[in-house]
Structure 1
Amino acid sequence: MEIKIINKSAHPLPQYETAHAAGMDLRASISEEIVLKPFQRLLIPTGLFIELPIGFEAQIRPRSGLAYKHGISIVNAPGTIDADYRGELKVLLINLSDTDFKIVNGDRIAQMVVAKHETVIWQAVEELGETQRGEGGYGHTGKA
């Protein structure tokens, strides 16, 4: 699939790093180093603008290495970029560790997965079909 993109950063376009990767890394496009303090959240620009086809979204997800090694995540993970959004892609990072985390221009800060989605048309009814699970939720499995 082809997607229109404007790149105002000094970095290459997002790309798949392995043959079967689902996500492409997004890089910070910043003029000076940013220090993300413990439990601080900041919106980090990427310099990228995209035009998704109708029926698709871009999911912005944490990078597993940053999460594991440094406690860096995304507040609203996964973030959703809708097909009608034309602004700059920005990543809402949060530092869940107890130490400062430094971000420099070009750092890989998140990953983006483009996914198809459906548009729902609700059908109001008085009852739903029965299942073995029924109304069981939140920790119900494995209990007698």
Structure 2
Amino acid sequence: MNKFERVSETEYGKVLASDCSAKNGVICVTPYENIKLPHRATVQSAGYDFFSPISFKLKPGQTIKVPTFVKAQLSHGRVLMLYPRSSYGFKYRMQLDNTVGVVDGDYYNNESNEGHIFIKITNDSKTGKTLEVNVGDAFAQGIIIGYDVTDNDDATAIRTGGMGSTSVWTIFST
């Protein structure tokens, strides 16, 4: 089963308290009950639009880690790939800091991580444009795709943590 869900209200409150203060570049945050789950705009859309639950402005060279307050339950053999929304990349050179986000199926509700998807972006404008994203704006897109493994694959490890080797991030930097 592939589906998007809101993170728990506990996770929402934790991120609100630690990552969403004005000093970190966040202008405002949507209330929990107004969090929009990703969805496709048309029947031919490959990508599910991710809507920003925060308003923020990024000057050229600035970076922000956007909490989506969303998690993805994915079927076995599926992965969620995250990309900038085309119009932001085209107009502002908005880039994901890891170039393409890869959300594995075992990121969802594992032993120590609820599966909260964060999207870290940079305004890489070469023309001095400030990137402004408001609450509710579609700013990124996710595509669920299937993958295969080799016949001699021997992976047996179980994920017990969050992204990479650490979950310590800077939300806003210049």
TM-score normalised over the length of structure 2:
0.62
Q: Which residue of 2 aligns with 1:104?
A: 134
Aligned residue among 97, 101, 115 for 2:145: 115
Aligned residue among 61, 66, 89 for 1:44: 66
Q: Which residue of 1 aligns with 2:121?
A: 93
**Matches of 2:73 and 2:94, distance apart in 1:** 28
Alignment of 1:1-144 (within 5 A): 2-8=1-7, 9=32, 10-30=34-54, 33-86=55-108, 87-97=115-125, 98-121=128-151
**Matches of 1:101 and 1:11, distance apart in 2:** 21
* Residue identity matched to 1:53: S
* Secondary structure in 1 matching 2:88: helix
* Secondary structure in 2 matching 1:50: strand
Q: Which runs of 5+ in 2 are unaligned?
A: 8-31, 109-114, 154-174
Q: CA deviation at 1:110?
A: 0.3
**Number of residue pairs aligned between Structure 1 and Structure 2:** 120
Preserved CA contact (<8 Å) 1:63 1:73? no
Aligned-residue Cα RMSD (Å) equals 1.9
**Matches of 1:85 and 1:63, distance apart in 2:** 23
Q: CA deviation at 1:121?
A: 4.7
Q: Deviations over 1:34-85 (max 9, x none)?
A: 2212122221111111211221100001111111122212122221000000
**Matches of 2:65 and 2:83, distance apart in 1:** 14
Q: CA deviation at 1:122?
A: 5.3
Q: Which runs of 5+ in 1 are unaligned?
A: 124-144
Preserved CA contact (<8 Å) 2:66 2:120? yes
TM-score normalised over the length of structure 1:
0.74
- Sequence identity of aligned pairs in percent? 27
